[in-house]
Amino acid sequence: MARIPIFLMGLVVIWAALAEAEYMIYKDATKPLNSRIKDLMSRMTLEEKIGQMTQIERGVASAEVMKDYFIGSVLSGGGSVPSKQASAETWINMVNELQKGALSTRLGIPMIYGIDAVHGHNNVYKATIFPHNVGLGATRDPNLVKRIGAATALEVRATGIPYVFAPCIAVCRDPRWGRCYESYSEDPKLVQAMTEIVSGLQGDIPANSSKGVPFVAGKTKVAACAKHYVGDGGTTKGINENNTQISRHGLLSIHMPGYYNSIIKGVSTVMVSYSSWNGVKMHANRDMVTGFLKNILRFKGFVISDWEGIDRITSPPHANYSYSIQAGISAGIDMIMVPNNYKEFIDGLTSHVKNKVIPMSRIDDAVTRILRVKFTMGLFENPLADNSLVNELGSQEHRELAREAVRKSLVLLKNGESAAEPLLPLPKKATKILVAGSHADNLGYQCGGWTIEWQGLGGNNLTSGTTILTAIKNTVDPSTEVVYKENPDADFVKSNNFSYAIVVVGEPPYAETFGDSLNLTISEPGPSTIQNVCGTVKCVTVIISGRPVVIQPYVSLMDALVAAWLPGSEGQGVADALFGDYGFTGTLSRTWFKTVDQLPMNIGDQHYDPLFPFGFGLSTKPTKTI
C-alpha cells in the first residue's frame, strides 16, 4: 500500500477543516428554522446582538454605519424619502445600498427596512392612496381590506421594502383623538374582522402552522405590524399618548381582541403604544408586553417600540435615558426604534448587560425573535431587491381597487326631507351645477395625514390622483355646465340659477397629536359655504374628515349629506355614488354625536343619544341616470 506523504495528509486535514468552517447551518435554507436561529445565535457577539435590536432612521444610516454597528433595521419616518418625488428605482437603490452594508459584516445578517404604509404606500410619490381605516370600517368588508393589504404589499415591495408599520388596530373610543382615522371602528368586533388586512399584507398562514408564529409568504408580501399595543384608542378625552383608565377586563374585551386575531393570522411584529394604562407607560409595562403578549398569547414575532418610544417613558422625554433603556428592554421590547441617537442607545444597553442590570437571556430572547422574522420572510435568501415589481407602484388595477373602496366607504346620512323626495342619485344631465367648498378640488385634503408628508399636505401637486371636482366633471353629461367656486356668497348662488349644488368641506390634514381636538368643528370657511349654498339652492354636502365632526347646526339646511371620511387619491369613487353609477352601501363604523359635550359616547353606553347611531347608513340603488 502506497504511503501518503505527511504534508499531503496535513493539507487534507486543513482542507476538511476549511470546508467545515465554511458550512454554516444558518445559511442553509433546507435546515429547520430553529436550527438556523440556534446556529447563528451561537456565533454572535454581544455587539452583534445589540446591533440587531437597533432600528435607525434612514437620515442617519449609511452602508458604513450598518457595517460598523451591525444595525439590524432601518426605517423611513413620516415624509422621510431618499429624494423628493423619488422613483421606485431610487428607493430600491437606497435600500440595497444600506443592505449591502449589513451584508458586509462578519456574519452577513441582513437588515430589515420598515416604513409606515397605513393607507397604501403613503410616503411614496405616485403610490395608490387608499381610504384611511375609518372609511374602510364603514365598508364592513373584510375581504376588501384583505385585497387592499395585498395591493399595498406589492407597492411597498415595488420600492424594495419588506416591512410595514401597519395595520393600526386601535379601537378609537373618542373622536377627539388625532389618530381616530387610523382606527377602523369604536367596536372591537369590527376591528377584529378587519384584521384580514394582515393576511393581505403577509399572505394566508398555512393551515398547519402553530398559532403565534410569524409568517410572510415570499417576495410579493411584507412583514406586518399590529399597533399600538395596547389601549391607544382609549385615552382620556382622546388625548394622544395619554392615559387609558380602564379595568383589566375592559382593556382585554375592548382593546385586545384585534391582537388575538392578528397573532392567529401570523402577524410578524407588534408595536408598543406611547400611551399608558392606569398610569403605567406601555413601553415599560412588563406585565402586558412579556406577561400577556409573549407568555399568554404566545406571540413569537418581535416587539418593536414606537419612534423614540422608550425616551418617553420618562417625563420630560429622554430625561434619564439609561433608565429608559433598562425599563423598555426589561418590559420585553425586542427592537428599539431609536431612531437617531443610536450610539447612545447601543452604549447604554451594552453597559446594562455588562453590569448585569439586564440579563443576557433577555437579549437572547429579543434577537431570537428578530432572527425568526428575518428567516421566515426569506431575507437571508433574498436580501436585495430588484426592479421586477416597479410597475406595481400606483398601478391602474390598484387605483381601481381604491376607487371601489372609496364608494363602499361612503355613508349616506341624509337624502331629502323624506324617503319620497330623495336628492340622490343626482342627475348627470343638468343645465348648470355648482361645486363649492375648500375640499372639492384639493387632493391633499382628501388624502389626509400620513400622505407624502407625516402631517399631510394641501393642494394638488403632492402626488397623482383624482380630485372630487375632476371626478364630477368626468361623470356629468358633456352638456352640463360645472361651475366651481370655493367659497361663493349667497348672492352669487342666487343669481346663477343652478340646478343643484355639491358642497365639499371638512377638516384639514393632520396626524397624531396635531389632530387632537376638543371642539371637532369643521374649519372655516366650511360652515359659511354650507350656509351660503345650501340656504339658497338644493344641495348635497360631502364631509371630508377623519372622524365625526360637529354638523348638527347645518343638517337642516342640507338636502343630502354624505360622510366621505378621508378617501385618498381616487376621488372618482365619490362621484360614482353621487351620480348613481353605484349605490350607497356604507354604514357608520363610529357613532356620530350631536355635541362634543356627549363625548366619549359609544354604542352600548347608557347615555347613548347620537345624531346618527353606529351602523346607520341610508342606501340607494344604482341607476343609469342621464
Q: Are strands 225-229 and 163-164 parallel, antiparallel or unpaired?
A: unpaired
Tell how far CA 229 is from the center of its chain: 14
Residue 5 corresponds to which cell in the numbers above? 506523504
Q: Identify the helix (H) or strand (E) that includes residue 435.
A: strand 432-436
Q: Is the dihedral of CA 323, 163, 453, 549 positive or negative?
A: negative
Count Cα atoms within 13 angstroms, Cβ side, for 358: 26
Distances (CA, A) of 575 to 246, 351, 466, 510: 42, 60, 11, 25
Active site residue 392: no
Please, where are the H alpha helices in 355-383? Answer: 360-376
Burial 344-361 (b: 16+ CB within 10 A, else e): ebbebbbebbeeeebeee
CB neighbours of 177 closer than 8 A, spacing ≥ 6?
Answer: 233, 235, 238, 239, 240, 515, 516
For Cα atoms 48, 54, 56, give the angle at the middle one, nearest 5 degrees: 130
CB neighbours of 495 closer than 8 A, spacing ≥ 6?
Answer: none
Active site residue 306: yes
The percent of the chain in helix, strand and coil, each rounded to the nearest 5, is: 40, 15, 45
In 10 A of CB 460, how many CB atoms? Answer: 16
As beta bridge partners, residue 289 has none
Q: What are phi and psi of 98, to 5 degrees?
A: -70, -40
Burial 576-611 (b: 16+ CB within 10 A, else e): bbbbbbbbbbbbbbbbbbeebeebbbbeeeeeeebb
CB neighbours of 207 closer than 8 A, spacing ≥ 6?
Answer: none
Residue 484 corresponds to which cell in the numbers above? 366651481
Residue 212 corresponds to which cell in the numbers above? 403565534
- Catalytic residue of the set 186, 187, 241, 306: 306
In 10 A of CB 522, how many CB atoms? Answer: 23
DSSP 8-state class, residue 413: E
Distances (CA, A) of 148 to 46, 115, 154: 40, 17, 10
As beta bridge partners, residue 451 has 453
Amino acid letter for position 531? Q
- Catalytic residue of the set 196, 334, 507, 512: 512
Report which of 227, 222, 244, 226 is spatially closest to residue 235, judged by C-alpha positions: 244
Report which of 85, 237, 48 is spatially closest to residue 159, judged by C-alpha positions: 85
Enzyme catalytic residues = 306, 512
